[in-house]
Amino acid sequence: MSTAVHLNVQGPGAAKLIELASCAGACNKDTPKVDYADLAGYMRSLPAWHLNADKTAISRSFVAKNFMTAIAFFNKVAEVAEAQGHHPDLHLRNFREVEVVVSTHAVGGITLPDLALAAMMDAIEVDYSPKWAKAEAERMAAGASGGGSN
Query: Reduced to 3 states, what is the DSSP secondary structure of residue 5?
Result: coil
Q: What is the pTM of this model?
A: 0.80
Over the chain, what is the mean pLDDT? 83
Is the Cβ–Cβ distance between 76 and 83 less than 8 Å? Answer: no
Phi-psi region of 94 (alpha: psi -120 to 50; beta: other; left: phi over 0): left
Residue 30: pLDDT band (50, 70, 90) is: confident
> Worst-scoring range by mean pLDDT, 8-17, 79-88, 98-107?
8-17
Distances (CA, A) of 23 to 17, 18, 93: 12, 10, 28
Task: Assign 93 to helix, strand or coil.
Answer: strand
When pLDDT is cut at 50, 70 and 90, the band that residue 37 belongs to is confident
The packing angle between helices 112-122 and 67-84, to 10°, is 140
Provide, rounded to the nearest whole percent, the portion of the chain with pLDDT above 90: 55
CATH topology of domain 14-21+31-143: Gyrase A; domain 2 (3.30.1360)
